[in-house]
Amino acid sequence: MSFSIESKLGDLLDNETTKAILEKHLPGISSHPQIAMGKGFALSMVAKFSGGLITEDLLKKVGDELAALG
């Protein structure tokens, strides 16, 4: 399975490798009190509702690392 910023947040958090990438760029995302509400949505969609916490720059960095996984 390949991962991208269009992958569901829940899928990214369920995989230890992709979870580590998210935590590297978005420290504390896996334990955020409201994270359960976003698990069914793509990371790119969650970013739109993050109140600016997940910026386009961060999305690009995460996306590049996810793409590098193959």
Alpha carbons 60 and 44: distance in angstroms, whole number: 10
- For the stretch 43-54, pLDDT in tens is 999 999 888 889
Reported pTM: 0.91
Q: What is the pLDDT of residues 19-43, one digit of tens each?
A: 999 999 999 999 988 888 999 999 9
Q: What is the mean pLDDT of residues 50-65?
A: 94
Judged against a pLDDT cut of 80, whether residue 18 lies above it is answered with yes
Assess whether pLDDT exceeds 80 at residue 1. Answer: no
Q: Taking residues 51-65, what's their average pLDDT?
A: 94
Q: Return the HEC string of the chain.
A: CCCCCCCEHHHHHHCHHHHHHHHHHCCCHHHCCCHHHHCCCEHHHHHHCCCCCCCHHHHHHHHHHHHHCC
Tokens 């569901």 — which residue?
8
